[in-house]
């Protein structure tokens, strides 16, 4: 169920730009300079979009774990 939750979060839980960034960096192991032209962003704003992609994925992943009835929900963002 965890693998399904990762897949669901990546494909259904983030916006298209975040999806390109996450798949490029963490699945295909591409360099950020190779992904940057795909999303049409300057290098200065790319880091902001990368951070947004990670946060979006973290929240989506938590929700998909609940929806997919995972035994233990892994939280990627620490809340107080």
CATH number at residue 19: 1.10.10
Mean pLDDT of 64-80: 91
- Tell me, yes or no, whether 41 lies in a domain: yes
38 domain residue, yes or no: yes
CA distance 64 to 68: 6
- Is residue 14 situated within a structural domain? yes
Establish if 79 belongs to a structural domain.
no
Give domain status of residue 36, yes or no: yes
Q: What is the pLDDT of residue 21?
A: 92
* Per-residue confidence (pLDDT) for residue 39, from 0 to 100: 80
**pLDDT, tens digit, for every residue of 11-20?**
999 999 999 9
- Write out pLDDT tens, residues 42-69: 666 888 899 999 999 999 999 999 999 9
Determine contact, residues 50/32, Cβ cutoff 8 Å: yes
Q: Which domain holds residue 47?
A: 2-67
In a domain, 18, yes or no: yes
Q: Given this model, what pLDDT does residue 41 score?
A: 65
Number of domains in the chain: 1
Q: Which two tokens stand for residue 66?
A: 């609940």
């Amino acid at each position: 169920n965890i693998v399904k939750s990762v897949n669901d979060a990546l494909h259904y839980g983030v916006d298209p730009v975040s999806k390109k960034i996450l798949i490029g960096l963490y699945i295909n192991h591409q360099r950020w300079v190779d992904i940057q032209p795909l999303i049409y962003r300057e290098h200065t704003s790319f880091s902001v979009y990368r951070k947004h992609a990670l946060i979006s994925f973290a929240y989506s992943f938590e929700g998909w774990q609940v929806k997919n009835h995972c035994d233990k929900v892994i939280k990627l963002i620490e809340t107080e």
